[in-house]
Amino acid sequence: MKIKTTLKMSILSLGRNPTRTMLTTLGIVIGIGAVITMMEIGNGSKNSIRSTIEKMGANSIMIMPGSMRAPGTPRTETGSAVTLSASDAEAIGRECPSVGAYSPVVRSSGKQLIFGNLTWMPSSMYGVAPAYLEIRNWKIAEGRCFTDREVDSNSRVCVIGTTIVKELFNNSSPIGSELRIGDVSFEVVGVLQSKGANMIGMDEDDIVMTPWTTMQMRLTGLKMGNATNTSSTVSSYPGDRFVVSGVALYPEQDSSMTRDKLFYSRFSQLNQIVFSAVSTDKVDQALQEVSELLRRRHRLGVEKEDDFSIRNSADFMNMLNSTSTLMTNLLLGVALISLIVGGVGIMNIMLVSVTERTHEIGLRMAVGARSRDILLQFLIESTVLCLAGGILGIILGHGASKFIEYVAKWPIESSPSAVIAAVAVSAGVGILFGFYPAWKASKLDPIEALRYE
């Protein structure tokens, strides 16, 4: 029997009872509509979380020194120990293939900004490398960022956030102005693009960034490394001219120390090292590589704890995502139950339809329909019913989520995979719940069926 003929036949017979057909499909329409709406809202919230995290820097990973654990001293918070050095940062960039960009971070606080007769105490003062902006996904709105050369030469240049432009420069362009940080004067070379408040409400635009070398040498009175807890590291590259056959007499020098300049810095401590993985799926691998490298460089035996801690923005994203995924799945479950209820409705009506059309089934058998022709006819009928309901449900669900987007301003993301799944599920429901009535029809005895009134 030709599928096309059967299809036409089922549409015709469904069309004979339009009210009943519509009421029957209502269950499927609502079920599929709910699934589509849930999926779109779920996807939307996932996306908005992702974009929030991406604003912070998509796959940025932060390394902080561990806590002070020397015997006889009070145990202090993470970051208090002096374990990370600029050469650690350089080694990460050099030896970890999954790491994209990296930047040392030196933080300062308690310094006043002075411009003209105005002062301002910024909430953050960071000494960084230019790569920092790339890692944090931060753009320059005006002017430029400082260069690697300026980092190497401890230049007194800075980049400032829009809050400072507002507070000190009254929103006029600050490029080229002389800004004093404490008692050191800096040239403003760039303005950062506004980021707004971050997730915990801190103003991210209230920031001054300088080259990390400048911050280290001119602004912060840094803790010096000492024999017990600084990074007395082995050189990772044998050609280092200050190291004799792998024995480190002095703490290794980083590139900023070995450069030809007026005075050598022995300051090595960093507050953070920030780096990014080459791609989002390489984050775990990058974490692994960096952790192994730092343990080796810091000569930590297997039994020793890490003297640094790594924080990954992906963890945070996963946590937020898992919450929204849980909610979406929960609601999806409810929607699926309504689909099953709809399917039972379909089965019910198909059984009624089989009984009603017993005579027709008998006639069709008498003129040569085989059992499987009858089975197919009713199966196609219920599938067509469910598919029509599914398509209507997709339209309705999409409309509902658009409405929610418009009224409640929730983020909505349409999902083609959900549409495909909805079509498949509604066809599946049709076949599943249509099978029993169709099977019952195909097993009718033609004589009995013809006699049935």
Partner 1 sequence: MNNTTTETTPLIKLENISKSYFLGEFDVPVLKNISLTIEKGEYVALMGASGSGKSTLMNILGCLDRPTSGDYYFEGQELGRASGDARALVRNRKIGFVFQNFNLLPRTTALDNVIMPLAYTADNLSTAECRQRGLKALEEVGILERAKHHPGQLSGGQQQRVAIARALINNPPVIFADEPTGNLDSKTSIEVMEMFNKLNAAGITVILVTHSDEIASFAKRTICMSDGEIVPGLFSHNLKQSEVKK
Closest distance of CB 354 from partner 1, Å: 15
Among 227, 247, 302, 367, binds partner 1 (CB under 8 A): 367
447 lies in the site for partner 1, by CB under 8 A: yes
Among 267, 364, 382, 425, binds partner 1 (CB under 8 A): 364
Kind of pairing between the strands at 207-211 and 124-128 = parallel
Comparing CB distances to partner 1, the nearer of 427 and 450 is: 450
Comparing CB distances to partner 1, the nearer of 7 and 432 is: 7
Comparing CB distances to partner 1, the nearer of 20 and 304 is: 20
Selected range binding partner 1 among 197-205, 231-239, 292-300, 444-452, rule: CB under 8 A = 444-452
Comparing CB distances to partner 1, the nearer of 190 and 362 is: 362
Closest distance of CB 371 from partner 1, Å: 6
Comparing CB distances to partner 1, the nearer of 95 and 373 is: 373
Residues 16-55 within binding reach of partner 1 (CB under 8 A): 16
Among 54, 240, 306, 373, binds partner 1 (CB under 8 A): 373
Closest distance of CB 366 from partner 1, Å: 5
d(CA 159, CA 207): 8
9 lies in the site for partner 1, by CB under 8 A: yes
Torsion of CA 312, 317, 319, 322, to 10 degrees: -140
Selected range binding partner 1 among 84-92, 141-149, 356-364, 430-438, rule: CB under 8 A = 356-364
363 lies in the site for partner 1, by CB under 8 A: yes
# binding residues, partner 1 (CB under 8 A): 22
Selected range binding partner 1 among 97-105, 261-269, 324-332, 370-378, rule: CB under 8 A = 370-378
Selected range binding partner 1 among 206-214, 217-225, 365-373, 411-419, rule: CB under 8 A = 365-373
Closest distance of CB 11 from partner 1, Å: 13
Among 2, 75, 241, 409, binds partner 1 (CB under 8 A): 2
Q: At a CB cut-off of 8 Å and minimum separation 6, what does 242 contact?
A: 250, 252, 253, 258
- Specify the residue for token string 């076949």: 431
Distances (CA, A) of 146 to 76, 104, 208, 241, 448: 34, 14, 12, 29, 92
354 lies in the site for partner 1, by CB under 8 A: no
Within 13 Å, how many C-alpha atoms sit on residue 270's CB side?
25
**Which amino acid is it at 441?**
A
Comparing CB distances to partner 1, the nearer of 261 and 372 is: 372
Closest distance of CB 360 from partner 1, Å: 6
Contact 99, 91 (CB under 8 A): no
109 lies in the site for partner 1, by CB under 8 A: no
Selected range binding partner 1 among 69-77, 188-196, 360-368, 407-415, rule: CB under 8 A = 360-368
Q: At a CB cut-off of 8 Å and minimum separation 6, what does 442 contact?
A: 371, 372, 374, 375, 378
Among 202, 337, 366, 424, binds partner 1 (CB under 8 A): 366
Torsion of CA 390, 396, 397, 400, to 10 degrees: -170
Closest distance of CB 385 from partner 1, Å: 18
208 by Cβ neighbours in 10 Å (0-12 / 13-18 / 19+) ranks as buried
Among 20, 359, 399, 406, binds partner 1 (CB under 8 A): 359
Comparing CB distances to partner 1, the nearer of 49 and 369 is: 369
78 lies in the site for partner 1, by CB under 8 A: no
Among 365, 379, 396, 438, binds partner 1 (CB under 8 A): 365
Contact 446, 362 (CB under 8 A): yes
- Please give the residue ranges that form the binding site for partner 1 (CB under 8 A): 1-2, 5-6, 9, 12, 16, 359-360, 363-371, 373, 446-447, 450
